[in-house]
Amino acid sequence: MLLENKVALVTGSASGIGRASAELFAKQGAQVIVTDLAEDDGHETVKRINATGGDSIFLKADIGKMSEVEGLVNAATQHYGRIDVLFSNACHYPEGKAADVPEEDWDRVISVCLKATWMLAKHTLPGMVKRGGGTIVVTGSVHSLFGFTGTHSYDIAKAGLLGLVRNIALDYAPTVRINAVLPGAVETGLWDHLGPEEREKIAKGLPLQRNGQPEDIAQAALFLASDMSSYVTGTHLTVDGGQTCGFMLDPD
């Protein structure tokens, strides 16, 4: 029970990594606030948690907007009394090169994938400091470390998260710890357009020869959210099946 008596807010938890993490956090003793724009799927996450003896509520919010982030944190704090663990996980992933990305898409990606973590931290940090402790986990990506073709604004947003993590770690240590988890090729809803052959091709290009699952990232998020990582702050944990080790040369 690594998160016993903790209250955890998990964004983007209607599906994928967020849902897997919300469920795992609850199994480890946390009371969990599930938040997403996908209302029906968010309620399904809560239903799954509560059906196994957990304690969870759903709060709909657009975490790309300051007013809704503030309302979310206030509502969560009013219900459970505090937030001990923040997992900023939600993302927005349109494709496009620099000259092709519409301004509204650029702004939305930056708001959801980068600015949202600052906005969430802005409204949760004062309570954590007042209570004398807290942890923040951020979902970055292997895109935080390397550029990929056709994902211009997403790459920039995810890279920016690493600077934000370092800055908050410096400003709020030793009271609050913050770290990022960087997923690689993980099969979430973003992969719905990929067929079995395409997925297998991606897996064969990874040292561990399989694509990641949301549960793989949830385990890493639990490590960073709990006291198992009590001497870790301001850094990132890459969970990518070895993708960023380097290029694999085909022995044939």
Domain contains 85: yes
Q: Provide the number of structural domains found in the chain.
A: 1
Domain contains 244: no
Whether residue 250 has pLDDT greater than 80: no
pTM over the 0.85 mark: yes
Q: Which residue type sits at 209?
A: Q
Whether residue 225 has pLDDT greater than 90: yes
The pLDDT of residue 251 is: 47
Q: String of b and e for 167-204 (b: at least 16 CB within 10 Å)?
A: ebbeebeeebbbbbbbbbbbbbeeeeeeeeeeeeebbe
Residue-wise pLDDT for 129-158, tens only, equals: 999 999 999 999 999 999 889 888 999 999
The pLDDT of residue 135 is: 98
Residue-wise pLDDT for 71-96, tens only, equals: 999 999 999 999 999 999 998 887 88
Domain contains 243: no
Domain contains 252: no
Which domain does 35 fall in, by range? 7-237
Active site residue 154: yes
**For the domain that residue 27 is a member of, what is the CATH number?**
3.40.50.720
Residue-wise pLDDT for 168-207, tens only, equals: 999 999 999 999 999 999 998 777 888 898 999 889 989 9
**151 burial via Cβ count (<10 Å: 0-12, 13-18, 19+):** buried
- The catalytic position among 80, 93, 154, 231 is 154
